[in-house]
Amino acid sequence: MEKIQLKELITLGQLLKHEGIIGSGGEAKWFLRENDVYLNGEPENRRGKKLHDGDIVDFGEFGSFEIEYTK
């Protein structure tokens, strides 16, 4: 699992782009429909879902990430 340090709140779709899993924000809806994604162990498919400090996002074969906000 990789820790992602961020300075501001982001969404699930923005994390996909930030990590280079998708090339553009427009691909997020398709990616989430076609792949199993888990947020804190629960299935999640909303690209606009805000990620909070300590959240764990699992993109399966694309990796797992723990969100950490810094000041």
- How long a stretch of residues is the chain? 71
The pair of three-digit structure tokens given for residue 68, joined into one six-digit string: 């950490």
User: How far apart, in Å, are the Cα atoms of 59 and each of 12, 20, 41?
Assistant: 11, 12, 11
Give the phi and the psi of residue 70 in degrees, each rounded to 5: -115, 160
CB 65 within 8 A of CB 4: yes
DSSP β-bridge partners for residue 43: 38
Write down the domain spans for the chain.
Answer: 2-69
Residue-wise pLDDT tens digits, 12-67: 999 999 999 999 888 999 999 999 999 999 999 999 999 999 999 999 999 999 99
Model pTM? 0.90
Pick the CATH number of 2-69 from 3.10.290.10, 3.40.50.1370, 1.40.20.10, 3.90.1720.10: 3.10.290.10
Q: In this structure, which amino acid lies at residue 46?
A: R
